[in-house]
Structures are given as structure tokens and as C-alpha cells.
Chain A
Amino acid sequence: MRLPLPPEQHPASRRSGRALLALTCVAAATAFPAQAELRIGFMGPMSGPLGVTGQELRRGFDLALEHLGGRVGGQDTIVSYANDQGNSTVAVSELSRLLEKDRIDVLIGVAASNVAMAIAQPSAKAGLTVLLAHAGPNELAGKGCAENIFGIGHQNEQFGEAIGRYMKQAGVKSVFAMGLDFQAGWDIVEAVQYGYGAPVAGKAFTAMSQVDFAPELARVRDAKPAALFAFYPGSAAVAFVRQYAGAGIKQQVPLYSVGAIADSLVIRAQGDAALGVISANTWNAAVRNPQNERFTAEFKLKNGGREPTTFSAQAYDTVMYLDAALRQAQGAKDAKTLRAALRDNKGFKSIRGPFKLNSNQFAIQNMVIQQVEKDDKGAYQQKLLATIPAVADRFAAECTLK
């Protein structure tokens, strides 16, 4: 067997030829940085207690990408998916991975408020533009507002304020409030009081792990309020609504809440118990515009006839928002031009109806008031009762942007 010649013994001309070739390749590679495509990062809680929300956000996100033919803003788009598990520490490390390994240009998503807070600083430091599809913590809308963060989904206050305003309009005499015992629960009751214009008659916050609401419902029955406001997002909605219906107080104390209390993800498990529940939401299938009709019809087709929820609607809208802004900026991805276009997005048509950005870069939108009822085929649907127009938030004044 003949051994190959050791390198030192190759003819000089061949060696230098190879070296020249290598050098040319390196020069060529560095001279033309290959990032002509748009790189989007999607981050959400894909597993864990908020897993249902994250998966639903992704469905709206993917549908929007499909409608755009995989080209956001007219550019080839590469998407990197990340799972923050609803956990701040995981979110920060996932963000680093998206920035360093996947080199994303824009981040879309985020459901949990604590995750939004956790990535605010790291993303600002990295100069990354973040479009929040669902999360909308009060701090980021007020003193903590940042020019790289856009709240396209909603600001947390809007749900509470909308339902509060509706209860006031409807002449509800007194309200008892129940909710999960954590920051979002306390905040939303504050927002309801703000919209309602008066403090609530009584409050009962329950621990996250609590499965039996009988004692609190007994307190509600005893207090005899004109209405009950309850904040039980996610799967807690099923247990709460069923027990509320079982307590037999539906006639005397109607239930007001926010969309997630009886959306298409939980209504099947709730059944008739959810009938009559009134909730405030950012989106409803009956909002009339061509984008929404297309979105709702396609979503139902892809998901076995199930209607979209606020999560899929917001994620869809956020992608479309970016698309419109990018087209307006003529494909420029640099932070300054992109953010200017995001701030002053003229071409965006929301599935939710009229949409504007507040000075704190959070949405100003119409909130819908809807009620659960059964149609003649026995299927549950959210009937559109009223629209609360142009709901903003209380914190914009504290924001020092612009």
C-alpha cells in the first residue's frame, strides 16, 4: 500500500494553489454577508401550565405565515421557535439562543407577563425589536416602556377596563370580584374598578392550586351582589365555571369575565355551565371585516371546526402588523427604520377592527363584549353584545417615549 506524501513533501506550487483557493473563499464569504432573508423568532410557553396558550398562539402565528406564503414583508422568512415554558429564567436563555445562534431580526410572541418583563432588558441591550403578541404588563406600558417593545396584542388593563365599563353601562348595581391570587389577578380587579368607576363590593382571591371554590361561592351567595366578576384564565376556567353553575346562583348573580373564561379551548369541557357568561375580549368571530372572515374561516378549517381564540387572533394580527410595517419600510430591517415603520404603521388592517398604537407603543383597540349561547345546531358560540371603542390604558402618561 502506498502511503500519501506528507504535506511537507507536496510540490510548492500545489500547496500555494490550495492556499490561494482557501483565501479566496474566505474573502468571498466575508465580503458578502448572507443575510438577505428575514429571521423571525417565535417565543411562547409551549409546555407547562401555560402550554395550551402557547400552542394556541403558535397556531395563529403559523396561519399568518401561511397566508403570507412564508414571506413576511415580501422577504423570504426563516422562523426559529422557542419554548419559554412561562418561566423567566428559561425565557432569557432561550432569547440568548435565538439571538446568538439563530440571529433573529425580530421576536414575536410571549404570553406570560413575567416573561415579557424578563426579556425587556436583554432584548433592549441586544437591540432586538420585540412584538408582544399577548403579554401586556403594566410596567412595560408605563415607566418601563422601551422603544424596542411593541404591545400589539393588548395591554393588561384593557380587559378589566372594558368589562368594567360595560357593567357600568348595563347598570349593574354592585360587583363582587373573584380571581387568582397573584399580580395579574389583583391588577385586573383594579382595572375593573377603574372602568366601573366604583370599588367592588367584595373580593375573594384564591390560591393557584385551589380546585374547590365552594367556600368563596358561598361568600358570594351570602353577599348578594348584582354581579360577579371572576378572573380564572387557562384550565382553572373549567373548574370555576362548572362550580359556579353548580352553586345555583346564575340567575341572581350573573358572571362577567374576560374572554379566556369560556373560549373555544375550554367551552367543550364546560358545556352548558358556560351559557350566559359575559366576557370582554380583544377579538370576536363576528367582527366584520374581510381579514377576520378569512382568518376565522381558515382557522376553523384547520382546527376541526373550532373557532379561534384571542390568543390565535392576536398572534395572527401581530405577524400581519410586522408584514405591513416591513412593506412600508421597504424591507429595511435595521432597528431605526423598522421601528419608525412599526410606530407609524399605515398599511395594517387588523382582524379586530380599528387599531392604533399608543404613545407607549401599546395597542389602542376596540374591545368586544360577548356572551356565550347555543346556536340552533347546539354548538356553543360567543354572541357579540357590544363594542367598547378605542380602549387605551392608564399608564401611557407615565411613559417617557416620544
Chain B
Amino acid sequence: MSLILLVEQLLNGLQFGLMLFLLSIGVTLIFGVMGLVNIAHGSLFMLGAYFGFSVGERWGPVLGFAAGLAGAAAVAAAVEFLVMRRLYRRSHLDQVLGTFGLMLVCNELVVIFWGREPLLAAMPEWLSGSVPVFGELRYPAYRLAISAVAVLAGLGVYLLLSRTRVGMLVRAGADNRTMVEALGVNIDALFTAVFVLGAALAALAGLMMGPLITVEAGVGEPLLILALAVIIIGGAGSLKGCMVASLLIGVVDTLARAYLSAFGGGGRAVAGMVVYWLMLTVLLVRPRGLFVR
């Protein structure tokens, strides 16, 4: 068990955690501010990737990136207006069922329009090498880029929520919707804006992660499950909780897979469960998450 390997695995864990963070910010924002459980968040991730890479293949990466974000935002706005508005006041179960159905529809639509074969998600040439990190350890540049984007995105959302007027309104609306409405703020428009922001963050995650994973129908679902675990552990609506929980899950999951799988089938099974044991423990000890009282 060499030191270099340990450092590399820690780096892998942190990087995986940051990838999760990028996807989870959107979920925590939407759940924390609007109380909406959105199972279709993974679909927004997928649509961001599909729009982005389809356009990018023809018209270059920059336009592709913009198209991915814009396309997902447009779909989100439409979905919010048509579907989500009816779900805000319903129970969480109704929200789960509704957004689950939405997810299934999105997956089939993607198959209808793009087919079943995986999509080409090109990685920019200048990021496809590796950089020296620690001694003789070289780490893929692209993964470091994803981590950087995740940190910047988190910072951006934090600044938006805490330092701007809009952010203040969003936080107020989350606390007491009726009062904010009574003060003359268009809460409907505000919530649409939050939903679209969450969708854009999901699309950003999809665009960044696309070149590393297989872009196909249903690509968002396995990651969404982990994102929900992040929300449960970190606490809904808490950005700090989201970051800490993502990193925790990333490191724990990676180290478990890296070291427990040496113990054969049983070890692998345990490694797969570790994150969920963590989640269960948090639910028992601090039901609202680590950073929410």
C-alpha cells in the first residue's frame, strides 16, 4: 500500500466529490428554497449534455457549451411553468411521483430524437493530458478542470445568495413565501428563476462530465441517487452542507472501493454500501442533515 497510491486515491475521492458537488448544488437549491423534490434533475443533467455535445459537434465547443446551458434552461423554464408549479404545494410523495414520470418521459424522448447509441462528447485537446501533482504522480488535467469548475460554481452560487438582492429575496422566499408575496415580490417569477438556475447548474455538470462518462439516455440517474444522498447528509438548502457532504461521500466511496474490494465479492458489496450506511447514520443522529438545524 504505497503512499503515492494513497495520495492518488485521496485525490480521486476529492475530485469525485467535487463532481458530485457540481450536480448537487442544483438539487439542494431547488429542494432547500422551494421544497421541491426533483427526481428529474438527472434529466436536466442529461439534456445539458445532449444539447451541448450535439451542437458542439457541428459548431464548435464554445457554441456547444452555450447551447447546452441555454437548452437546459429553456426546458427547465417550460417544465417549471407547466409541471412544477402544480407540485409546489403538494406532498413530497406527489412531487416524487410527478418528477419520476417526467424523468421517464425525458429518457424516451432522448432515445426518439438522438437514438440509443452513445453520443460523442469531445474532450478539448488542451485538457486531455496529465499534469504532475505529487512526486512522480501525474493526474488527468480534465478531472482537475472539473474540480475547478465545481469550486467556482459553488462560489458563484454562494455569492449570489449572500451578496445580491436577488439572493436575499430567494432566501426570504424560502423562509416565508407568503410574507414575501405580501411585500409585492413576484414569487412565481422568483421560483422559476431558481429552478432555471438549478437546471443550468445540472447542465453545467453534464457538460463537464460528458467527456468522461457515457452520454446516453438515463445517464443522470446513477449520479442523482448519490446527489440525493449528499442532500440528506449535508442538509437541504445548505450550500456548506452540500460541499462538505459531497467531499465526504466522494472520499469515503472512493477509498472504500479502492481498498475494500481487495477482499473479494463481500468486500465489494460492503464498499458499495458504505455511502448509504453513512446516510442512514446521519438520518438517525441528525435527521435534517449535518448543517441544518
B259 to chain A, nearest CB (A): 9
Q: Does A207 contact B (CB under 8 A)?
A: yes
What's the minimum C-beta distance from B13 to chain A, rounded to whole angstroms? 8
Chain A residues within 8 Å of B2, by CB: 222
- Complex contact B117–A222 (CB within 8 A): no
Q: Complex Cα distance A219/B8, Å?
A: 9
B278 interfacial by beta-carbon distance below 8 Å: no
In the bound complex, residues from chain A placing their C-beta under 8 Å from that of B214 are: 211, 235-239, 269
Check if B138 sits within 8 Å of A238, measured CB to CB. no
Interface stretch (choices B88-96, B120-128, B229-237): B120-128
From A219, A237, A265, A269, give the contact of B121 (CB < 8 A).
A269
Segment of A83-91, A243-251, A358-366 in the binding face: A243-251
Q: How far is the CA of A237 from the CA of B117 in the complex (A)?
A: 12
- Name A's interface SS: helix
Q: Which of B208-224 contact A (CB under 8 A)?
A: 211-216, 222-223
Q: Chain A residue with minimal CB distance to B1?
A: A222
A357 lies within 8 A of chain B by Cβ? no
User: A235 touching B118 by the CB < 8 A rule?
Assistant: yes
Known A215-B254, A248-B140: A222·B12 in contact at CB below 8 Å: no
- For residue B272, CB closer than 8 A to chain A, the reply is yes
Partner of B254, one of A51, A214, A239: A214
Q: Are B212 and A246 in contact (CB under 8 A)?
A: yes
Question: Could you give, for residues 45-79 of chain A, a 1 whenever the CB lies within 8 Å of some chain B CB and a 0 otherwise?
Answer: 00100011001000000000000000000000000
Q: Which residues of B contact A210 (CB under 8 A)?
A: 222, 257
In this assembly, does A268 line the interface, its C-beta being within 8 Å of a C-beta of chain B?
Answer: yes
**Binary contact readout A19-40 vs B (1 if CB under 8 angstroms, 0 otherwise):** 0000000000000000000000
Chain A contacts of B9 at CB under 8 A?
A: 215, 218
Interface size bucket, B side? 35 or more
A139 at the interface (CB under 8 A from B): no
Of A52, A212, A219, A236, the most chain B CB neighbours within 10 A belong to: A212
Indicate with 1 or 0, residue by residue over A158-169, a CB within 8 angstroms of chain B CB atoms. Answer: 000000000000
Q: Is A52 within 8 A of B117, CB to CB? A: yes
Contacts of A215 in B (CB 8 A): 9, 12-13, 254-255, 257-258
Q: Is the CB of B117 within 8 A of A214?
A: no
User: What residues of chain B lie closer than 8 Å to A206, measured between beta carbons?
Assistant: 257
Given A207-B272, A269-B215, are A218 and B258 neighbors across the interface (CB < 8 Å)?
yes
Further pairs besides A205-B265, A209-B222: 19, Cβ < 8 Å: A206-B257, A212-B16, A212-B19, A212-B212, A214-B15, A214-B16, A218-B5, A218-B12, A219-B5, A221-B5, A221-B8, A222-B5, A239-B212, A242-B213, A246-B128, A246-B140, A246-B143, A265-B117, A271-B120
Interface residues in chain B, defined as those with a beta carbon under 8 Å from any beta carbon in chain A: 2, 4-5, 8-9, 12-13, 15-16, 19, 111, 116-123, 128-130, 138, 140, 142-143, 211-216, 222-223, 225, 254-255, 257-258, 261, 265, 268, 272
* A residues lining the B interface (CB < 8 Å): 47, 51-52, 55, 181, 204-207, 209-212, 214-216, 218-219, 221-222, 235-239, 242-243, 246-248, 265-266, 268-269, 271
